[in-house]
Amino acid sequence: MTQGTQPPKAVIFGLSGLTLTEAEREFFKRERPAGYILFARNVETPSQVKALVADLRSLDSAHSPVVLIDQEGGRVQRLRPPHWRAAPTGLQFGELYQRNPQSAMEALRLNMALIGKELADLGIDVDCAPLLDVPVPGAHDVIGDRAYGTDPAIVSVLAPVCAEGLIDSGVVPVIKHMPGHGRAMSDSHKDLPVVDADLATLRATDFKPYAAWAALKPMPFAFAMTAHVIYTAIDAANPATQSKKVFDEIIRGELAFDGLIMSDDLSMHALTGPFEERAAKSLAAGCDVVLHCNGDMAEMEAVARGTGAVGPRGVRELRASEAIRLKPRKALSGVTLAAFELQVAHRLRHG
């Protein structure tokens, strides 16, 4: 984001396919979103993805949008073989941590640096990882092995290591799903989870990795993403994404996160109502940017109507992220990359 330019719109949009349609091109030029997010439907080959990212960035000469992707490893990775490596799950590093903490941290940082390099080579500069979620027995498997484990202390250690690995490669991490999705008994893509745990329990488990993150000195630079989850002990009427009370008392208050916060996807079925209202309610609650992923043009037009310009904190954080996104990156040969990948695999197998 160029210093002194008019702030972009406080929204990140998905798109429909491997290339921009003319309708998308005109819409994105007019609306000037803060960024874009890619999914498997937008991915075919390295050259195609690189060209698509360059095309997105060419739409507005006064603003360089962020480009996001979900590349966690395991079930959630939009870039897949044969063109990209199959990265391990988060849980594999959590299990290694129980055997050999130092080896787990070194392997995870290297793994995420490798993921970061794959993204940076394509021009993608934000990865929606790491998860700070802590699954509990009986919870829906939407988090499952994506998490580093069921012990909040392990999650608290490994999540910052993941972030540092991405930063090593010039990619901005996104911590999610704030203030915790691990206790949800349903999938927020399909339903609205309601968590009835009391505040003492939430503080001891779900919130603990975020509290540990806030205590880090220095703290890794990161954006954050909300959870579409109701926590009845805080606000029984609204999911965190749309709850001013959750933002003021917990996310910005108790957990002291002062960075850019984006909503989870507004098109998920946990949220209801017209898309214009979904966007406006999320921004009014405290989100700096809203996220809309499915590429549906009618929905995107409605989201745009409910969205204004990025506010001062969002502008500040987007500008601060440029120090990571534009940093010079060390060139690595294919042989070196293969050796690093073997090192990660060896540590996961043998500790």
Residue 177 annotated among the catalytic residues of the structure: no
Strand partners, 230: 194
Residue spans of alpha helices (H) in the chain = 22-31, 46-57, 90-99, 101-122, 152-168, 199-204, 208-215, 244-245, 275-285, 297-305, 312-325, 334-350
Residue 264 annotated among the catalytic residues of the structure: yes
Sign of CA dihedral 12, 71, 172, 17: negative
Of the residues 264, 265, 288, 292, which is catalytic?
Answer: 264
CA distance 251 to 241: 11
Exposed, middle or buried by CB within 10 Å (0-12, 13-18, 19+), for 81? exposed
Helices (H) then strands (E): counts for the chain: 12, 12
The answer to whether the CB of 139 falls within 8 A of the CB of 188 is no
Of the residues 55, 141, 189, 198, which is catalytic?
Answer: 189
Q: Which two tokens stand for residue 51?
A: 């060209």
What kind and span of H or E run contains 72? strand 71-73
Catalytic residues: 189, 264
